[in-house]
Structure 1
Amino acid sequence: MRVLAKLENARWLDRIGDAVRRAVLATVGKGRVGETLHGQPIGHPAHPAIVQFPVGAWMSAAMLDLLPGTEHAATALLVAGTAGTLPAVVTGAADFGTLSREQRRVALVHAAANTAAVGLFTASIVARLRGDHRRGRALSFAGVGVAGAGAYLGGHLAFAQAAGVNHAAAALPRVPLEWSAVDSVDSFTDGKVGTRAFGDTTVLVYRENGRFSVMVAECAHRGGPLADGRTIDVDGQTCVQCPWHGSVFALADGHAVHGPAGSDQVLLRTRVRDGLLEAARP
């Protein structure tokens, strides 16, 4: 943990991280391609799911290497796993463009470890194709160890540093569990966005044709203040744009229209009772 703390504070990595981020954004962009690779259509980053294929193939090859007479099967798995790193790299790069500087420092070493692992697995494949299966096994086991270190950093990035998580969902414990009054129905105007204190947080309230949607006012991407965002029209939908990084959410249903947010904005349950708008956790 002390090593990770030093890594998180290694500002000398920022020059590299900033350059890589610029290259990623120039290549992938901030538009639909980047949003798709980041995983917006499925509601969360795609990279963690995609890496299961190469890692699974490499681990399976390592298990076969412990058994006699499985050289050809292990080699086939290594080839498949190493080829499968391409979509993992592309989606990981898209995620990199959405990270903060502190997160990018860890992500750089995570990527470096995985690159080294791919190099070891590639060398293992070459050795096996030349008939040197003993050397191939040794290189493969080394690759599994380095890939494991990279996976550990990836886990730290996702869970300890909250990269890719829905920050709006993290605010839900501060929202009342049971039905609670937000405000009187008459205090809201059709087509206008209102903000109210609700429980121990702030919510956005949008009324359209007498129907209400209430969402947590913390941006899903990085917890930015959506209450300070501007409303814009996107393809006929009234949306709110986060003032921090520009994520755009449809006010009617919380759908993430544009990134860098990969998750939809959390909507609360709503009902109207005795002239009051009430809401509760989903």
Structure 2
Amino acid sequence: MRPFDDIDRLADAEVLDKVAAPLRDAVHKVLTRQDVKDALHGVWMGHPLHPVLAQLTIGSFASAGILDVSPRTRRPATALILVGLVSAVPTAAAGWADYADGHEEQQRVGVVHAAANGAMLAGYAASLAARARGRGFRGALWGWAALAVGTVGASLGGHMAYHQAMGANHAEGYPHIGPGDWTDVGPVTDLPEGEPARRIVGDVGVLVVKRGEQVHALADRCAHASAPLHEGDLVDGDGRGECVVCPWHGSVFRLDTGSVVHGPATAPQPTFRTRVRDGRLELAVTGHAGVPAS
């Protein structure tokens, strides 16, 4: 049996919803400022922030575990544990922000991931307490035990990222499978004025919005979690042009460039070039996200 089969059982364990759902609601109540949420999601980076911070935290703890092998290097190990504990604060904040906008299956694994990480941090706190009392070897034992638990937590986090695709760009494939050549999608008069519509171009769905003689087209599958963007609302993007709001988690994308205005999405939506010939709309994928389609 493969290890992730057991983790998939966690994802299917509805009993975990009794913990996962209240935690999700609590995070939403605490994170009310959109700019704070965007920062924690990593919108400013163009990819999730949590994995980057997690490297610093777990890297500090792992390095401390190596230094603890020798009594002569336990003092710098103590300093690394302090770095790990301090960095765990923003790491956890970014993780909880992502968690609150995940699917139920991701959240079920996420609460176990968080519990393992919490146990790891408690172990490192006990390690520091032992070191402060001059019991370096006991502190090292606590540190190694905490690192073992943290490794389990990190494995669950990797499962969420790679097996459950949490934080992945779900629209990345569009430039590769969308048609690069102009493709007829029907009469332009069939498009509703100023309302999201869905058209099929080759093998992919496309969000199309017509405003007078101008037509914008974006990948219909939301980059955050594959939601159908054509079911979302159109809004003004804080003075940055017309935008579409994802119907599932509220990500906001510019219609002209596909760039992210607000998360939880961090990757831009691929865009499509548009043109009208003989009254019929033609589309072609640009191959690049975040740039105007023409």
TM-score (norm 1): 0.88
SS at match of 1:70: helix
1:77 to 75, 80, 84: 80
**Alpha-carbon spacing, 1:35–1:126, altered in 2? closer, same or farther (3 Å):** same
Q: Which moved more, 1:272-281 or 1:102-111?
A: 272-281
What is the distance in 1 between the residues matched to 2:186 and 2:153?
Answer: 52
Contact 1:171–1:201 under 8 Å retained in 2: yes
What is the distance in 2 between the residues matched to 1:271 and 1:99?
Answer: 33
Contact 1:54–1:84 under 8 Å retained in 2: yes
Q: Deviations over 1:21-66 (max 9, x none)?
A: 1111111126222222111222222111011111111111111112
SS at match of 1:87: helix
Q: Deviations over 1:172-220 (max 9, x none)?
A: 54313x4332458976899776543111011124567977653211112
Query: In the alignment, which residue of structure 2 is the partner of 1:266?
Result: 270
Contact 1:206–1:252 under 8 Å retained in 2: no
SS at match of 1:167: coil
Report whether the alignment pairs 1:48 with 2:47: no
Cα deviation for residue 147 of structure 1 reads 0.7
Q: Deviations over 1:59-96 (max 9, x none)?
A: 11111112351121111111111111111111111111
Cα deviation for residue 248 of structure 1 reads 1.9
2:156 to 153, 158, 168: 153
Report whether the alignment pairs 1:246 with 2:250: yes
Query: In the alignment, which residue of structure 1 is the partner of 2:183?
Result: 181
1:52-201 to 2 correspondences below 5 Å: 52-176=55-179, 178-183=180-185, 195-201=198-204
Report whether the alignment pairs 1:19 with 2:18: no
1:197-208 to 2 correspondences below 5 Å: 197-206=200-209
SS at match of 1:66: coil
Contact 1:167–1:223 under 8 Å retained in 2: yes
Q: Which moved more, 1:179-188 or 1:56-65?
A: 179-188
What is the distance in 1 between the residues matched to 2:173 and 2:156?
Answer: 22
Match for 1:10: what amino acid?
A
In percent, how many aligned pairs have the same letter? 37
Q: Deviations over 1:133-165 (max 9, x none)?
A: 111111111111111100000000111111122
What is the distance in 2 between the residues matched to 1:192 and 1:99?
Answer: 27
Q: What is the alpha-carbon root mean square deviation over aligned residues?
A: 2.6
**Alpha-carbon spacing, 1:96–1:45, altered in 2? closer, same or farther (3 Å):** same
Contact 1:7–1:105 under 8 Å retained in 2: yes
**Alpha-carbon spacing, 1:182–1:249, altered in 2? closer, same or farther (3 Å):** farther
Cα deviation for residue 128 of structure 1 reads 1.3
Contact 1:242–1:248 under 8 Å retained in 2: yes
Contact 1:30–1:259 under 8 Å retained in 2: no
Report whether the alignment pairs 1:279 with 2:281: no
